[in-house]
Amino acid sequence: MPVIITAAVFGVTRRAGLSSSVVEQRTCNAQVVSSILTGGSRSLARQYYLSTRGVTMQNNSFPHDAFSEELASNNEYIKSFKYSGLTGVAQKGLAIVTCMDSRINPLSIMGMKSGDAKILRNAGARVTEDVLRTLVLATYLLGVKKILVMPHTNCRMASAEEADIHEHIQKEFGVDTRSLEFRTVKDQEKALALDVSRIRAYPFLNKDVVVGGAIYDVTTGKITPVEC
C-alpha cells in the first residue's frame, strides 16, 4: 500500500511539472499517511519532520493542497452562515482563558453560541503577558465583565516537567527548545490560583471585572470552581 500511494503521488506531481523538492515532499507526505493507515511506528513521524526542515513554500503561495479539506468545509459553512449581524462585543460579558486542547469547546461548555464570549487559548491555559494585554482590551473595549481561567484535567502541561518536554522534543525531533518556557505546572490548582491572582492584581485591567478559576473535566464535561 505505501508503495502504491507513493508512486501515484510521484507520478501526478511530476506530470504537473512541480519541482523535485515538492515531489519529494508530497511523496514523504504520502508515506506518512500510509504508515498511519497501516499502523506504522512513530519513528516515521520523526523522519517526516526532519525531512521538512528547511523546506520553504514556493512563491509565497497559499498551500491549497494542504488545506483543501478545510476550504471545502468552509464553502459549505458559508451557505448557512447566520452570524453576520454580530459585533465584536462579548454578548454575555464573559472571557474564557483556556487550553488549546482540542477536547475543549468553550462555548458549548457554557451553553453559549458565537458572539457570546471572548476565548483566549494557549498551552495549559496560562496567564501570560499576551493574555493580560488581550484582557485589557476586552474589558475596556469589548464588553467583558467576567473572566474565567479554565485549565483542564489530563493536560500534558500538568503531567510533565518542563525539562522532560524539552528532552522529548530534542530526542524525537532533534530540536533544542530550551530557550522557550512552556510554563508546565506541578500543582494545577496552585498554578490556577496564581494566574487568577495575577489577573486581579494587574494594574491596567478594568477594576469592575470579576475573575474566577475553574478546572474542566475532559471525561465528564463538568466545570469545578476552585476557591482562589
Band of residue 143 on the pLDDT scale cut at 50, 70, 90: very high
State which residues form the domain around 46. Answer: 2-78
Residue 3: the pLDDT is 43
pLDDT at 8 over 80: no
C-alpha closest to that of 129 among 199, 212, 210:
199
Q: Is the pLDDT of residue 207 over 60?
A: yes
Quote the number of domains for the chain. 2
> Per-residue pLDDT tens for 61-101?
999 999 999 999 999 999 999 999 999 999 999 999 999 99
| Phi, then psi, of 147 in degrees rounded to 5 | -125, 125
Q: Is the pLDDT of residue 11 over 70?
A: no
Pick from 58-62, 130-134, 174-178: least confident: 58-62
Of 78, 104, 126, the domain-final residue: 78
- 21 and 57 inside one domain: yes
Note whether 117 and 153 are same-domain residues: yes
Band (pLDDT 50/70/90 cuts) for residue 146 is: very high
If you average pLDDT over residues 217-221, what whole number do you get? 98
The pLDDT of residue 59: 76
Residue % of the chain over a pLDDT of 90 = 72
Question: What does pTM read for this prediction?
Answer: 0.74
Which residues does residue 210 pair with via DSSP β-bridges, in sequence order? 146
CA distance to 1, 5, 9, 35, per residue, from 38 (Å): 8, 12, 18, 5
Do 94 and 171 sit in the same domain of this protein?
Answer: yes
Half-sphere exposure of 214 (CA within 13 A, CB side): 16
Quote the pLDDT of residue 4. 40
pLDDT tens track for 105-129: 999 999 999 999 999 999 999 999 9
* 134/187 same-domain check: yes
Mean pLDDT calculated for residue range 149-164: 95
Q: Can you tell me the distance from the alpha carbon of 204 to that of 133, in angstroms, rounded to the nearest whole number?
A: 9
pLDDT digits (tens, 9 = 90+) for 13-70: 444 444 444 444 444 444 544 443 444 445 555 655 555 555 555 678 999 999 999 9
Task: Select from 47, 78, 109 the last residue of a domain.
Answer: 78
